[in-house]
Structure 1
Amino acid sequence: MSVPTRTHDDDDRPKLKPLHWDKVRASSDDRDMVWDRLKSNSFQLDEDTIDALFMNNPTAAPLPKKAAGVTQLRQEERILDRNKAHNIAILLRALNVTLEELSDALLNGNAECLGAELLETLVKMAPTKEEEHKLRNFTGELSKLGSAERFLKAVLDIPFAFKRVDAMLYQANFESEITYLRKSFQTLEAACDDLKGSRLFLKLLEAVLRTGNRMNVGTNRGEAKAFKLDTLLKLADIKGADGKTTVLHFVVQEIIRSEDEKSDRAAESHITNTAKDIQFRRHGLKVVSGLSSELGNVKKAATMDFDVLHGYVSKLETGLGTVSSVIQLEEQCTTKGSEKFFAEMRGFMKEAEQGIGRVRCEERKALERVNEITNYFHGNTAKEEAHPLRIFMVVRDFVSILDRVCREVGQQDRTPVGSFRVSATAVSRMLNVPGQHGRGAGSDEDS
């Protein structure tokens, strides 16, 4: 490998910033090396530019006129804003599609070929009307344009290119949005079924009603036939004399005892011992704790907002206008090969209208079911609800509190649950609820 000889002219050249590297020694045994394949004069270095850029004292010499001329030419041929052009150039590197593939997909209306993510990227590239006008009327050399400008100019050669992109993006997202809405409305109906069909939830309401009526004897709140489910959220706030046991703890213990008695009868044995009491207690606690999983659809429904879901359906209907407006441009399009695009859009339009119609029916049905279940529990007070799905939110929050109380009960000592039975007077005193000294408050009936 030949070594370039140093000439007298080298001493006259400006000193540049050094490039620190490890040189490779030439092989001494005639071994073939890549450097041997380099041809002299195959690459001409622009020495004026490199001298100006990397000179040790850059202020000593200005950039050569040639380099300055290139920069000036770039500025003269710029059409897009510098930041926008930079962002589009980044997006272009992310596109895994050739310009030819893109053109074919837009001409044929093949949204599946491009996909929603790529179409969303194209939407971000859409030029303003002024930029579009400049790009269409550019008559200079394309090589003088930046990569972003060249790409947009090529896309704009397709009639109504970005209106096609908008319509195809709507089409690409349509099925997933319809599926999401249908599943949401189905979840609401399932939540209504779970709430109405839960034996344990009904038993819990009965226990709360009986406990509350016993506590409210002699007051105008007594002898209630029903209560709003919001009451469930207050049970853990009313503490007894020990400062720990709440009304909800008491109710849970009573349901556990009830489940224990059922298990005792099922076992057809009247033998009482500590081991059996513990076993039954655990069984009852497991049953009560199971309410959380039993009302899984209710917890899902509580995270939804019916107004938002209604807005999604309306947005789908409005977006269909984008497709309709593009179809109306068919008469203005004289480009050969666009027939397939408009045929594809007309077919999709028909299917989309039917799909939105079905979702609207499911929306109305779900709302009717939600209103029915709210009336089922709250009667005439249901119309006072400001939020259509509030009943699910209340139950979800209560179940969360119930889970915590069940854990606390499970951590208590293993005293047989039968010994937990206390008199109604003791319950009233323990809870220290005002207004308990009226009729019947002095009796010693079991709660």
Structure 2
Amino acid sequence: EVPPPPIGVPLPPGMVPPPPNLDGLSSPQRRQLSAEEKRIKLAMEVASDLDINPLRMFTPEKKMRRFHWEALDLDTKLLRDTVWEDIGQAEPIEEDVDFDRRLFESLFHERTKSSKGSRLKRDDTGDGEDNQQKKKKKRAEKKVTIELVESRRSYNVDITLSRFKLSYSEIVDAIVKMDESVLSLEGVQRIQSVFPSKEEIKLVSTYRGNPALLGHVEQFFLTMASIPGLRRRLRNFRFLLEFSQVAPKVEASLQSIITSSQSLTSGDPSEKLRFLLRVMLYCGLYLNSGTKKAFTYGFRLSSLRRFKSLRSTDRKTTLLHFIVQLVNQHHHLSLIPTESNPTPKGFFDDLQDMMKKSCRIEMGFIESEIKQISQSLSVFKVCVTEASKTNRPYPDKAKDFVKYAEERFNKISEDQATCHREFSEACQYFGEKEGAWEEFFETWFEFLSEYQRAEIDVARAIANERRMARRALEEKKRKEEKKQRRRRASEAAIRKTSTRIASSARAGRPGSNSDAPASAASKLASKLELEAFGSL
């Protein structure tokens, strides 16, 4: 048998502690040791399955404080392919970190009762007993609080209320007066999140004891329950604060849908679309000639994306690229940057931006926001009217808000009707069934994005062709210049040779026949000249 390691030294990796001696142990102690053996065995099995280092077991010299964490179960499936598996396969921490166990134990060991008693005994002046009596007296004098609310709920409410630097009565007063200088929208939302329910209000209202003994949360609930209808006032206060944020967003969304719908059916963008669809229809009919698919006067918008999918025979271009070339030639468009136009715009760039913005507006969300505004405004008006008959009427700003909100909501309702009408006309204009805004405009956005990419491809191809043509022209010019230089050099060489031969002939000996050398020189020069021109 291998003896256990000394105290304070960890067990070697892979070593299981020797079975304990069960003699003299009670039944609960035996069961505890048996359960510990099962856990050790399971830990070894998990380590073997995952090929990780076995659990490290330590025997500290002091009893350490307990850290109450939520440990993972010893389950191979739970630990596989996790960070814990990677950590288990790494080297022991001591290989990388200088871990001082004695220092760690001195910092985090559990304080024993004997150490407290020894301090009292070492106190020769008798202050230890006096301190003990003082603590008992303080505990007796400590204020007893009565908590009626469930502990978890009470904890969450207390955390939220701690963020306010206001008393509970000041919070109530700010709600009643709708004072946004005291309570912001965020503050109102927090109060709403912890506002007592009907059951909680009933719970604290039926308390017949001393209210001063109640806890903070119970006192807050009691304060909130002291004003009838405070929950509705708080909800109306939130609506008042949110209206200035929600209304502009709804109005902007409706205007975006109206503008996009009108752009598809009228104006310059619509004219461009009509021309494009005409070209596309022509190409489609031409391709489908001789088939039943050629007997049509148009196509569904869902077919727009198919123009990009149809590739040419040589697989070098698509039908959409071809159509883009036709459109550019007709409108004399080019996306190639120039000095006068360094950032040229595409044929549908403005329309694409509108479609991109509109396809992100969800029809259902806008409709629900408008409905929520209508309902909240109606409730607000009723509450203001009813409260005016009581001793706690709404402030004057609430009445002014009702008038302002009604006028603005009427404008939103008009925009909503216009939006539906324009969108319906746009769908009918293209022969489509009316559906959700985002789906309709997303179809256009995707197609116009493909069209823009095709424009860029065509512009790059044209720029590349121009660059190749320019290079070919420069190459031809360079070769011509080289040929001219060679011709001039040959002519100069011929002239120089002829001059040298003629000079030699004239410098002949005295008394010799001068006509013979001259004739020979002339023949030689003619021969050299013919050879030179022949080489050219």
- Same fold (TM > 0.5): yes
Deviations 1:201-224, CA, capped at 9 Å, x for gaps: 333223212221221222233264
Are residues 104 and 387 of structure 1, via their aligned partners in 2, closer, same or farther at CA, if it must alter by over 3 Å? closer
Are residues 46 and 231 of structure 1, via their aligned partners in 2, closer, same or farther at CA, if it must alter by over 3 Å? farther
* More divergent stretch after superposition (113-122 vs 99-108): 99-108
The answer to whether the Cα contact below 8 Å between 1:305 and 1:389 also exists between their aligned partners in 2 is: yes
Number of the residue aligned with 1:60: none
- 1:370 is matched with which residue: 420, 423, 435? 423
Determine the C-alpha separation between the residues in 1 that align with 2:208 and 2:245.
Answer: 43
Q: Secondary structure at the match of 1:297?
A: helix
Number of the residue aligned with 2:294: 222
Determine the C-alpha separation between the residues in 2 that align with 1:357 and 1:162.
Answer: 27
Number of the residue aligned with 1:155: 224
Number of the residue aligned with 2:278: 206
Determine the C-alpha separation between the residues in 2 that align with 1:283 and 1:255.
Answer: 19
Are residues 103 and 229 of structure 1, via their aligned partners in 2, closer, same or farther at CA, if it must alter by over 3 Å? same
Determine the C-alpha separation between the residues in 2 that align with 1:284 and 1:234.
Answer: 32
Deviation at 1:403, TM superposition (A): 3.2
Deviation at 1:416, TM superposition (A): 5.0
Question: What is the one-letter code of the residue matched to 2:198?
Answer: K
Are residues 248 and 330 of structure 1, via their aligned partners in 2, closer, same or farther at CA, if it must alter by over 3 Å? same
- 2:410 is matched with which residue: 336, 343, 357? 357
Listed as ranges, the matches of 1:247-262 within 5 Å are 247-260=319-332
Deviation at 1:106, TM superposition (A): 2.2
Question: What is the one-letter code of the residue matched to 2:227?
Answer: I
Deviations 1:56-112, CA, capped at 9 Å, x for gaps: xxxxxxxx89869979x54xx112221111111111122354445423322323346
Are residues 130 and 409 of structure 1, via their aligned partners in 2, closer, same or farther at CA, if it must alter by over 3 Å? same
Listed as ranges, the matches of 1:212-291 within 5 Å are 212-222=284-294, 224-260=296-332, 286-287=344-345, 289=346, 291=348
Number of the residue aligned with 2:441: 392
Number of the residue aligned with 2:376: 319
Deviation at 1:357, TM superposition (A): 2.4
Number of the residue aligned with 1:308: 365
Listed as ranges, the matches of 1:173-188 within 5 Å are 173-188=242-257
Are residues 174 and 13 of structure 1, via their aligned partners in 2, closer, same or farther at CA, if it must alter by over 3 Å? closer
Deviation at 1:185, TM superposition (A): 0.9
Deviations 1:299-342, CA, capped at 9 Å, x for gaps: 211122323322221121222343245335527844xxx33x25
- Which structure 1 segments of 5+ residues have no match? 1-10, 17-44, 51-63, 264-276, 420-447
Question: What is the one-letter code of the residue matched to 2:440?
Answer: I
Does residue 1:170 correspond to 2:239, yes or no? yes
Number of the residue aligned with 1:19: none
Q: Which has the larger radius of gyration?
A: 2
Q: How many residues align?
A: 341
Are residues 229 and 103 of structure 1, via their aligned partners in 2, closer, same or farther at CA, if it must alter by over 3 Å? same
- 2:264 is matched with which residue: 172, 190, 195? 195
Determine the C-alpha separation between the residues in 2 that align with 1:79 and 1:184.
Answer: 48
The answer to whether the Cα contact below 8 Å between 1:135 and 1:153 also exists between their aligned partners in 2 is: yes
The answer to whether the Cα contact below 8 Å between 1:107 and 1:158 also exists between their aligned partners in 2 is: no
Question: What is the one-letter code of the residue matched to 2:148?
Answer: I
The answer to whether the Cα contact below 8 Å between 2:305 and 2:447 also exists between their aligned partners in 1 is: yes
Are residues 244 and 82 of structure 1, via their aligned partners in 2, closer, same or farther at CA, if it must alter by over 3 Å? farther
- 2:159 is matched with which residue: 90, 113, 120? 90
Number of the residue aligned with 2:213: 144
Are residues 12 and 291 of structure 1, via their aligned partners in 2, closer, same or farther at CA, if it must alter by over 3 Å? closer
Deviation at 1:255, TM superposition (A): 2.2
Deviation at 1:388, TM superposition (A): 4.9
The answer to whether the Cα contact below 8 Å between 2:256 and 2:357 also exists between their aligned partners in 1 is: yes
Question: What is the one-letter code of the residue matched to 2:415?
Answer: E
Question: What is the one-letter code of the residue matched to 1:312?
Answer: E
CA RMSD of aligned residues (A): 3.8
The share of aligned pairs that are identical, in percent, is 19
Number of the residue aligned with 1:406: 455
Determine the C-alpha separation between the residues in 1 that align with 2:458 and 2:140.
Answer: 82
- Greater relative contact order (Cα < 8 A, sep 6+): 1
* More divergent stretch after superposition (132-141 vs 247-256): 132-141
Q: Secondary structure at the match of 1:192?
A: helix
Determine the C-alpha separation between the residues in 1 that align with 2:236 and 2:336.
Answer: 66
Question: What is the one-letter code of the residue matched to 1:398?
Answer: F
- TM-score in terms of structure 2 length: 0.55
Are residues 345 and 148 of structure 1, via their aligned partners in 2, closer, same or farther at CA, if it must alter by over 3 Å? same
Q: Secondary structure at the match of 2:304?
A: helix
